[in-house]
């Protein structure tokens, strides 16, 4: 069993499709062991995406991620990090496989509905960035 951090992004909360995304998560044997709806501050979003701070899309990304509520979640299951990346699909929905969250719901490469950690080490860091261990319930 391991854990990954998921974020349901503002394009999805605005369209009221968080339940549809959670259904795909649960149908694929990941358990939502923590979940909260928050509004990211600019500081919090910049800290989360610090690795991308030199990318040309960074400012737009921060604008977008602070443009509405997000749902931050901890998902648990076998191979959670890779399993969730598989279910999410490619960053650019044009390249995402049929049946993935991004293929079904993403609007474009930026407004792509979900975030998922890309390694076990980053998952731990990202989970700790949003959750206290006491908020994660097996
Ligand atoms: P990931 O979310 O699939 O891990 P990353 O490369 O880590 O993709 O990028 C983080 C987020 O930044 C993406 O999910 C997307 O919202 C945004 N992003 C990535 N590449 C681009 C781009 O080329 N143009 C606009 N936004 C982008
Ligand atoms: Mg990434």
Q: What is the pLDDT along the chain (138 residues), one digit of tens a residue?
A: 799 999 999 999 999 999 999 999 999 999 999 999 999 999 999 999 999 999 999 999 999 999 999 999 999 999 999 999 999 999 999 999 999 999 999 999 999 999 999 999 999 999 999 999 999 999
Q: Render the burial of 115-124: b for 16+ CB within 10 Å, e for the rest.
A: bbbeeeebbe
pTM for this prediction: 0.98
Dmax over CA atoms of the chain, in Å, equals: 39
pLDDT given for residue 24 in this prediction:
98
- Measure the CA–CA gap between 74 and 126, rounded to whole angstroms: 10
Q: How far is the CA of 110 from the centre of ligand 1 (A)?
A: 6
Residues at CB less than 6 angstroms from ligand 1: 52, 57, 61, 91, 109-110, 112, 115, 118
50 dihedral zone (left: phi>0; alpha: psi -120 to 50; beta): alpha
Q: How far is the CA of 82 from the centre of ligand 2 (A)?
A: 12
């Amino acid at each position: 069993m391991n854990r990954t951090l998921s974020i349901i992004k503002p394009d999805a909360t605005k369209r009221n499709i968080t339940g549809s995304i959670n259904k795909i998560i649960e149908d694929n044997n990941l358990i939502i062991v923590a979940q909260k709806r928050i509004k990211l501050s600019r500081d919090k979003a910049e800290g989360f995406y610090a690795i991308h701070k030199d990318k040309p899309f960074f400012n737009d990304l921060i604008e977008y991620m602070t443009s509405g509520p997000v749902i931050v979640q901890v998902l648990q299951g076998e191979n959670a990090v890779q399993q969730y990346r598989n279910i999410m699909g490619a960053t650019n929905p044009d390249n995402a496989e049929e049946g993935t969250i991004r293929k079904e719901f993403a609007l474009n490469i930026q407004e792509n509905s979900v975030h998922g950690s890309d390694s076990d080490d980053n998952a731990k860091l990202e989970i700790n960035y949003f959750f206290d261990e006491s908020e994660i319930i097996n």
